A and B are shown apart, each in its own frame.
Chain A
Amino acid sequence: DGGITQSPKYLFRKEGQNVTLSCEQNLNHDAMYWYRQDPGQGLRLIYYSQIVNDFQKGDIAEGYSVSREKKESFPLTVTSAQKNPTAFYLCASSPPRGQWGYTFGSGTRLTVV
């Protein structure tokens, strides 16, 4: 079955460490997105990529980095420069145009300990 997989589901990080969240899709979608969700804040866009080897900053890119070396994969690194990284992170993918909207992964909850 086609879908989008995020791993791990729960992640704990010590302060000062970088950590990478995985996002893989087998939907043959061109575009992929990373969102951060905090209680009462809705979804905030971190980075997005519309084609391989290209990506754009979203509204809250500071302290995060991404790569898009393969169409299927869009990993997100939360760096030590991100001051408040504890949150729920959601990855999504979509065809380039049309009515289909986004397909979301099941999320990764990151906790800084």
Chain B
Amino acid sequence: GEDVEQSLFLSVREGDSSVINCTYTDSSSTYLYWYKQEPGAGLQLLTYIFSNMDMKQDQRLTVLLNKKDKHLSLRIADTQTGDSAIYFCAERTNSGNTPLVFGKGTRLSVIA
């Protein structure tokens, strides 16, 4: 079945770049998403990428997709303390209307 894997923790210094990685197993993925969750809150959609794209940039966020290796990454430039949160990767497969498959989330800690 489908599976999405992420490392659980990442710690970076303020001002550095953060790179959060995700791997997935379903080769029929159509869209891949990055969500951010702040403490005690719901998930907020940060960005998404269509599976026929290699890269998408949106201000400080850069998404890279390697479809051959089924690897997705989110780069946050000039990381700030407000970026401290849990980041979830999710995939939408081509299998009709099945729900998104989420990773377990990466907790990003930004050290001032």
Contacts and interface: CB of A to CB of B under 8 A. Distances in A.
Contacts of A43: 43, 88, 102, 105
B102 A48 contact: no
Interface string B4-39: 000010000000000000000000000101010000
A99 B99 contact: no
B100 A102 contact: yes
A2 interface: no
A101 B45 contact: yes
A90 B43 contact: yes
B47 to A, nearest CB: 10
Contacts of A58: 99
B48 A101 contact: yes
A109 B41 CA distance: 10
B99 A107 contact: no
Given A40-B8, A90-B43, A107-B42, A101 B97 contact: no
A49 to B, nearest CB: 11
Interface residues of B, number: 22
B98 to A, nearest CB: 9
Interface residues of A, number: 25
Contact of A102 (B41, B45, B105): B45
Contacts of B90: 101
B30 to A, nearest CB: 8
A42 B88 CA distance: 8
Contact of B42 (A40, A99, A106): A106
A33 interface: yes
Given A42-B88, A101-B31, A101-B92, A106 B41 contact: yes
Given A92-B43, A101-B90, A107-B40, 8 more contacts: A97-B97, A99-B50, A100-B45, A101-B31, A101-B92, A103-B45, A105-B42, A106-B41
Interface of A: 6, 31, 33, 40-43, 45, 48, 50, 58, 90, 92, 96-97, 99-107, 109
